[in-house]
Amino acid sequence: MSSDLTPLLEPLKLGPSLMKNRIIMGPLTRSRAVPTNVPNDVMLEYYVQRAKGGAGLIISEGTLITQQGQVTEWENAPGIWNQQHIDGWKKITEAVHREGAVMFCQLWHVGRLSHPDAPEQKASGNPVYGPSAIAARGYPGKFRFLHGKPGYVTPTAIEDPKDLVELYRQGAINAKAAGFDGVELHGAHGYLIHQFLDSTSNKRTDSYGGSIENRARFGLEALTAAVDVWGPGRVAIKMSPTGGGNDMGMPLKETLETFTHFIQQADKLNLAYFCLLRYIEFFDVKIDGAWRATVHDVLSTYRPFINSAALLVSGDVSPEEGASLVASGQVDAAIFGRPWICQPDVGKRIAHGIALESKIDMKHLYLQHLDGSDAVDEVIRRGYTDYPAATYT
């Protein structure tokens, strides 16, 4: 690494929290919360490794705010809907804080992207919910852990969205009890907030559908509920305006108008930050032979409308590019995702000018079915906590 990376090494005030640098570990679903979605000691080891590895801010993997709303492709994602989850996460946040990192909890509801046969979805006794009774397209065999590897189902339209807003409020309450420094609402990748915002998945005729203002209402109410719990500077949102994955995307003009309105209104809530995921092909999908995304430059488009919160960028950002974006004032910090999977010390490597690895153990990226042939802890750690840190001189 020959570029000047010092802009990434400067501290950043994020609401009341002080990040020691601008190197962020993005949310990475790894499916190690066994059994029953409870954070465990192996997850504790994983997050502590990365806090020691120089992360200024760690954003937790997507954390489910309700038993209803589980996505089966990651059947062992952690939750934040009961006391066991709170207790499990509290061990992690306390340990991460001891290593000098800030930690936000990403609050997650997958909406129509669940399946009625998902174990936790079934146990909840509730149907798969979405803004409208419209199934997502693409990804045949999405639910690979279910018999027959089924695809998406048509969801039951949510009767009263305010009931779902209250799930985000309770998730925020629980995350606060678990010792996080704040919460990030997952409003990207075609999950529930994104489903309400996008006119292709939201055909409601009440006050939560139709106009841009109505489609933005659900996400803004969920953010407001979280701010009511946490106060200013402690709540954030992740957004993917280009769409693509999970059958998201509107025509360009409608996309620009919709996300501009949402961001302008959300910026009035004194958030900690906006995370904007820019277009990368990795998150796109082809449907009927055409790419689904609405490609545009999210930083130049939406940066002018973010004035009271920090702006973080995600999506295949290199250390050199991240430092340049921070130095030019286009963003306040850079999020690194996949690099944190295959090395626990991304922050320290950047600080020491060591090139980042890209060799991910894809076979063990997510937890495979536990068949009892190996010790559970050994299986969980494989491709998770067994990546070595670099040697520093």
- Give the active site residues: 191
3-class secondary-structure state, position 17? strand
CA count, 13 A, side-chain hemisphere, 145: 19
Closest CA relative to residue 278, chosen from 263, 297, 265: 297
C-alpha to C-alpha distances, 194 to 162, 231, 331, 375, nearest whole angstrom: 16, 23, 23, 39
The verdict on whether omega for the bond into residue 35 sits within 30 degrees of 0, i.e. cis, is yes
* Distance between CA atoms of residues 176 and 181, nearest Å: 7
* Distance between CA atoms of residues 148 and 161, nearest Å: 32
* Distance between CA atoms of residues 342 and 241, nearest Å: 28
Task: Please give the torsion angle defined by the CA atoms of residues 209, 213, 216 and 218, in that order, rounded to the nearest 10 degrees.
Answer: -60
CB crowding 339-350: b at 16 or more within 10 Å, else e: bbbbbbbbbbbb
